[in-house]
Amino acid sequence: MAPAAPSDLAPATSLPTTELVELTHGLRSELLRRGEFLPSAWVEEAATDLHRGDLVGWCTRDGGPALGFFSRRARRAYAHVHVAPGTDGVGRAERLVRTIVASLPPDIERADTGVTGLTEAEEGGLALRLSRSPEFSILERVAMNRGLTDPLPEPPGLPEDLQRDRVRNVALDALARLDWGGYRGSPDESLVADSVEQDRREIEEILGGRLGRFLDEASAVLIDAADRPVGMLLAAEQSPQRAIVLNVVVDPARRGLDLGRFLLRRALRAAAALGYREVRLWVTVTNVPARSLYESEGFARGVRALIYRFERAGAASGPQPQTSR
């Protein structure tokens, strides 16, 4: 049985759906403000799931409304805390984060929690508090933006044994194996998927428009002579003026050949041809090789987001950075 939540927290099932809708709407608005994406239908769907208990969550009104919830995938959990305006936002967020990790089933090894509603200074305070506990670490992600009004460089040449193809022409299972293998051991490993099967479902959802209208023209996959995918870039529309690169991955055996640069430059030129004025992507700060690639291609740092990572004692040690170039 999960430990009892602090006395000022109530299970989300005890709140009316209308109040949960207000909180989930606030969460989505904050994500949109900092350049992330959630479909509008998610607001009521999440509120309904929280009220039914299909999504495990807690709320507090002590100092102002706040909501925290998690869902699990295999042995990992993904959580979010949203703090509405009020007093002691850091304290409300910390109570919810700690309640989430205290309530995780014992077989969950890791939980990643995002937070919205805090100022940058407040996020720094929350990070300081949680990092004092050895089971917590802080993962910093930054949005990087590149305008499309300047002349765009040509993509570098491809090795003779590779050719470019449309993403939809390649079997999802093959794309998932590439994606899963390419991110294994990187700081972004648990942010992509927890298994090849889950990776396949997430790619299928991206192609279906879950993270914005999928841009076939800006996306691409690189195929070797044995018809195996060795590189991939997935892009979507974030707004009428902005495209977003959701994923850049290269087979570890093919790194150092500028395949990531080829895919990125081609995506930029395609996005410009489609009429977008800007391209955005997110990168983990500790993924230095990937960040260096993006900076060398004219991307500049924008807003940041922190992920509060809990790892249960005895779980495997955290991943190490690797390049996506």
Can you give the residue ranges of every domain in the chain? 9-133, 146-303
- Report which residue type is found at 277: R
* 230-256 average pLDDT score: 94
170 near 292, Cβ under 8 Å? Answer: no
For residue 272, the Cα-to-chain-centroid distance in whole angstroms is 24
Specify burial of residue 61 (Cβ count, 10 A radius: 0-12, 13-18, 19+): middle
pLDDT over 90 (residue 146): yes
Q: Does residue 297 or residue 187 have the better pLDDT?
A: 297
Q: 146-303: which CATH topology?
A: Aminopeptidase (3.40.630)
pLDDT over 60 (residue 29): yes
Please, which residues have CB within 8 angstroms of residue 124's CB and are 6 or more apart in sequence? none
- 3.30.70, 3.30.420, 3.40.630, 1.10.3470: CATH of 9-133: 3.40.630
pLDDT over 70 (residue 321): no
How is residue 257 written in tokens?
Answer: 């050949």
Domains 9-133 and 146-303 share a fold: yes
The SS3 call for residue 296 is: helix
* Alpha carbons 124 and 134: distance in angstroms, whole number: 17
Residue owning tokens 């959990």: 77
Q: Residues 263-285: pLDDT tens digits?
A: 999 999 999 999 999 999 999 99
pLDDT of res. 317: 43
pLDDT of res. 184: 79
pLDDT over 80 (residue 194): no
* Alpha carbons 209 and 215: distance in angstroms, whole number: 9
pLDDT over 80 (residue 7): no
The SS3 call for residue 257 is: coil
